[in-house]
């Protein structure tokens, strides 16, 4: 009997030891998966971000929006801004032929493998810049539009200044990391949102950045857009990604739902996936919370008269010269007020479209917009006889 009891006790002890070995990590070998999971949970999805409504520039949300950060390939949007402006002025054309230089053919990083002496149109190279993020294509375009890459950098910084991108300083046309000891491109989320808002006025730029796949060099090379968020959300229709080790994963994205267009910029994300998920969440959040309210429509009549002592007509009612819309939370659609500022009288004749005054739009006691009030018609000056009769109180 004693032997049986001892045998049972021996088996019980062995079972506990085996269990302890299975559940206790070996000394000096921590659970890497658990540690990695804890670190990823602590790591923020980005270093800075901003959400902006495109038509008004209203900032809906943001964090560290003025923090300077290297944009990486997002810097190519600055090149696009300079190109778009020159196209608008007629200085260059999309059909212009560009011959690839030796220096351009030697660019590293993302590229379309341009060869010295090859010839492409400006539009072909701009697609290579904004779809494939080709550094060689960016360098070629820069040389063509400014004479040299350095001269183009000067134009880029002038453009940034004109857009009031106060936290930006660019040193390259492509956003590649600088050589050791050289300064890097720097910008901020807010500055990039201002840039994106400006670029939306050039339909070609939005068209180029919305391309998912494009053939190049007669179909021998296929370019794939790095902005995978366009595959995740059908509302996303353009802009640019960027990455190198120090910069992290950056993204400028724009999306439109109904009349509401949003711009989201995220910088310094640890992974492309974390960045895309974060931007997608911000877009969905603000599309669900905000609506674009049409506050004033072009041609809306103004229910207040301006006296015309010298006019053929004795008074005129103005109309709104333009439209004004504003993004508001769904629950606050009734928070607008319109203040009409018009003079009592206007002397002489009045021309159609002549400014009579203005309408100030306020939302929750904050001025958010202004619309000119204009005359809807020509009102010539009254004749001499009519004026005499009026002075005598005999005319209308």
For 3-27, how does the pLDDT look when each residue is reduced to its tens digit (9 = 90+)? 544 444 444 444 444 444 444 444 4
For the stretch 323-377, pLDDT in tens is 999 999 988 988 899 999 999 999 989 999 999 999 999 999 899 999 999 999 9
pLDDT given for residue 205 in this prediction: 98
Rounded CA-CA distance 134/335 in Å is: 47
Nearest to 177 by CA among 126, 127, 107: 107
The residue assigned the tokens 């090859």 is 118
CA 80 to CA 208: how far, in whole Å? Answer: 10
In CATH, what class is 297-391?
mainly beta
Closest CA relative to residue 320, chosen from 344, 342, 350? 342
pLDDT tens digit sequence for 25-36? 444 454 554 444
Answer whether 138's CB lies under 8 Å from 129's CB: yes
CATH superfamily of 48-291: DD-peptidase/beta-lactamase superfamily (3.40.710.10)
Convert the pLDDT of each residue in 83-120 to its tens digit.
999 999 999 999 999 999 999 999 989 999 999 999 99
Neighbours of 175 (CB within 10 A): 31
pLDDT, one tens digit per residue, over 183-241 is: 999 999 999 999 999 999 999 999 999 999 999 999 999 999 999 999 999 999 999 99
Task: Enter the tokens of residue 65.
Answer: 């929006």
Whole-number pLDDT of residue 309: 87
Output 15 or 292, whichever has higher pLDDT: 292
Question: For residue 308, is pLDDT > 50?
Answer: yes
pLDDT at 43: 83
**b/e 294-330 (16+ beta carbons within 10 angstroms → b):** ebbeeebebeeebebebbeeeebebbbbeebbbbbee
> For 122-125, which contacts have Cβ atoms below 8 Å and span 24 or more sequence positions?
122/83, 122/92, 122/93, 122/94, 122/95, 122/96, 122/98, 123/94, 123/95, 124/216, 125/98
CB atoms within 10 A of CB 229: 23
- Say which residues have a Cβ less than 8 Å from residue 203's Cβ, sequence separation at least 6: none
Report the mean per-residue pLDDT for the chain: 90
Domain ranges of the chain: 48-291, 297-391
What is the band of 40 on the pLDDT scale with cuts at 50, 70, 90?
very low
Using CA atoms, how far apart are residues 252 and 263, in angstroms rounded to an integer?
A: 7
């Amino acid at each position: 009997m004693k032997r049986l009891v001892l045998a049972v006790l021996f088996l019980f002890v062995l079972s506990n030891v085996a269990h302890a070995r299975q559940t206790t990590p070996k000394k000096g070998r921590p659970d890497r998966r658990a540690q990695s999971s804890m670190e990823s949970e602590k790591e923020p999805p980005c270093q800075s971000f901003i959400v902006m409504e495109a038509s008004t520039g209203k900032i809906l949300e943001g964090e560290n929006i003025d923090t300077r950060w290297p944009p990486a390939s997002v810097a190519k949007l600055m090149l696009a801004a300079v190109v778009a402006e020159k196209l608008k002025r007629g200085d260059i054309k999309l059909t212009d032929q560009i011959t690839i230089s030796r220096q351009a053919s030697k660019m590293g990083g993302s590229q379309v493998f341009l060869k010295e002496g090859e010839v492409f149109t400006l539009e072909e190279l701009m697609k290579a810049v904004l779809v494939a993020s080709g550094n060689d294509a960016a360098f070629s375009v820069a040389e063509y539009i400014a004479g040299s890459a350095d001269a183009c950098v000067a134009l880029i910084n002038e453009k940034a200044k004109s857009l009031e991108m106060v936290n930006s300083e660019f040193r390259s046309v492509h956003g590649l990391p600088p050589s050791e000891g050289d300064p890097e491109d720097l910008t901020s989320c807010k500055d990039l949102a201002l840039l994106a808002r400006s670029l939306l006025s050039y339909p070609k730029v939005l068209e180029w950045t919305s391309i998912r796949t494009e053939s190049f060099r007669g179909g021998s090379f296929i370019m794939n857009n790095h902005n995978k968020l366009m595959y995740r959300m059908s509302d996303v229709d353009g802009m640019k990604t960027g990455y190198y080790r120090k910069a992290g994963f950056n993204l400028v994205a724009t999306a439109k739902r109904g009349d509401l267009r949003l711009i989201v910029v995220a910088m310094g994300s640890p992974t492309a996936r974390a960045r895309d998920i974060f931007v997608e969440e911000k877009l969905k959040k603000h599309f669900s919370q905000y609506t674009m309210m049409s506050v004033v429509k072009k041609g809306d009549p103004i229910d207040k008269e301006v006296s015309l002592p010298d006019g053929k007509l004795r008074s005129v009612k103005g109309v709104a010269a333009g439209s004004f819309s504003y993004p508001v939370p769904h629950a606050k659609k009734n928070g607008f007020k319109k203040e009409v500022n018009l003079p009592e009288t206007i002397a002489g004749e009045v021309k159609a479209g002549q400014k009579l005054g203005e309408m100030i739009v306020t939302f929750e006691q904050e001025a958010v917009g202004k619309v000119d009030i204009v005359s809807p018609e020509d009102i010539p000056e009254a004749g001499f006889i009519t004026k005499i009769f009026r002075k005598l109180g005999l005319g209308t």
